[in-house]
Amino acid sequence: MSHATYSREREVATEAVLRASKLCTRVFQNLVSASTIEKKDKSPVTIADYGAQAVVNSILHAAFPEDPIVGEEDSVELRENEATLNKVVELANSVVNQPLTSSEVLQAIDLGTYAGGKKGRFWTLDPIDGTKGFLRGEQFAVCLALIVDGQVQLGVMGCPNLPIQLSKPDGERGCLLTAVRNGGAYQRSFAPTSTDTQIHVSSTATTADTQFCESVEAGHSSQGDAADIASKLGITKPSVRMDSQCKYAVIARGDAGIYLRLPVSATYEEKIWDHAGGALLVHEAGGKVCDAKGNPLDFSVGRTLKNNKGVIATNGKLHDAVMDAVGQVLASKI
């Protein structure tokens, strides 16, 4: 089968994500302390969010000046706060080759205001997915994806705190995950000499034996519904709770077989940058992704997944059984 390999896009996206990941780790080490956590001070993650978006957008823009970007952040509040802006500029410049001025940093951030849609190609960026995980020192991810005519073609995700092997939490951390449509899903470490290893979903066909994962945040996914679904599937092990699109990564690597993200409100629309790269990773690793009604995720309708409700990702073999249980539990709700 012939297909686009997006090799140049992949190379540039990898470089951008690795540099932004380095920036995030630097912010965590220098600015997050017991006292910021205790005070629920969100300023470190705000700085890392802006810095990572500036770095990724400026690298993308230099390589592909015509490509629009749908990014989570914009510079409106940053323009009001000079002290924060100075920190963002300093941090961004600590990971890029060509230093940026403050106005270039602001402009780079605002390259992310594109509306998305079904025609042409654009990037979508979540500079830090899992902001709450970042502040807790747990999982977060820098997530970048390329969407062409409404379909995700490339996903690159940097997960600085994710162990290379989930079963070895004290082993090497920092995973770079990449998927290209019809080209497979891959993982490597952050080490410059590391090379891609192809990854695959688990082959488990028995729901009762499966590890399921969900968000840490009760406000992002209905954990009550997830528990009811797990119980219908005969799953007795507690869920693995993890922030960010690292959940898609652990499904794609076969560490877990089911990811449930069940609607908590009738009005919330999932954002495309929260799912584009992760969904392609699972698909290319041999799994399946859809919404709570079984519909494919529709990345062609703007900045949100307004045609979908919730997200279910599985290793594929378990998909029908999971959707059956989801249907029973959510029947009267969606």
Ligand X SMILES: Nc1ncnc2c1ncn2[C@@H]1O[C@H](COP(=O)(O)O)[C@@H](OP(=O)(O)O)[C@H]1O
Active-site annotation holder among 46, 131, 178, 207: 131
Judged by CB under 6 A, the chain residues 90 through 119 that form the site for ligand X are none
Under rule CB under 6 A, residue 73 binds ligand X: no
Cα 110 to Cα 120: distance, rounded to the nearest angstrom: 20
Q: Is 128 annotated as a binding residue?
A: yes
Closest of 324, 225, 294, 232 to residue 265, by C-alpha: 225
Q: How far is the CB of 48 from Mg ion (least distance, A)?
A: 10
Cα 177 to Cα 143: distance, rounded to the nearest angstrom: 10
Q: Is 291 annotated as a binding residue?
A: no
SS3 127: strand
Q: How far is the CB of 72 from Mg ion (least distance, A)?
A: 5
Tokens coding 233:
């599937």
Under rule CB under 6 A, residue 319 binds ligand X: no
What is the helix (H) or strand (E) element at residue 180, kind and residue range? strand 173-180
Based on the residue annotation, tell me whether 267 is a catalytic residue of this protein: no
Question: Left if phi > 0, otherwise alpha if psi is -120 to 50, otherwise beta: which for 116?
Answer: left
Which one of 9, 73, 110, 126 is in contact with ligand X (CB under 6 A)? 126
Under rule CB under 6 A, residue 244 binds ligand X: yes
Which one of 136, 232, 241, 271 is in contact with ligand X (CB under 6 A)? 271
Q: Is 110 annotated as a binding residue?
A: no
Based on the residue annotation, tell me whether 49 is a catalytic residue of this protein: yes
Would you say 71 or 286 has its CB closer to ligand X? Answer: 71
> Which does residue 219 touch among ligand X, Mg ion, none (CB within 5 to 8 A, set by kind)?
ligand X
Cα 20 to Cα 140: distance, rounded to the nearest angstrom: 12
Which one of 268, 295, 306, 320 is in contact with ligand X (CB under 6 A)? 268
Under rule CB under 6 A, residue 274 binds ligand X: yes
Cα 204 to Cα 210: distance, rounded to the nearest angstrom: 7
Strand partners, 113: 70
Chain residues binding Mg ion by CB under 5 A are 72, 126, 128-129, 274
Cα 179 to Cα 202: distance, rounded to the nearest angstrom: 17
Strands 121-129 and 69-71: parallel
Under rule CB under 6 A, residue 130 binds ligand X: yes
Cα 30 to Cα 256: distance, rounded to the nearest angstrom: 33
Catalytically active residues, by annotation? 49, 131
- Where along the sequence are the contacts to ligand X (CB under 6 A)? 72, 126, 128-131, 215, 217, 219-220, 243-244, 264, 268, 271, 274
Residues within the annotated binding site for Mg(2+)? Answer: 72, 126, 128-129, 274
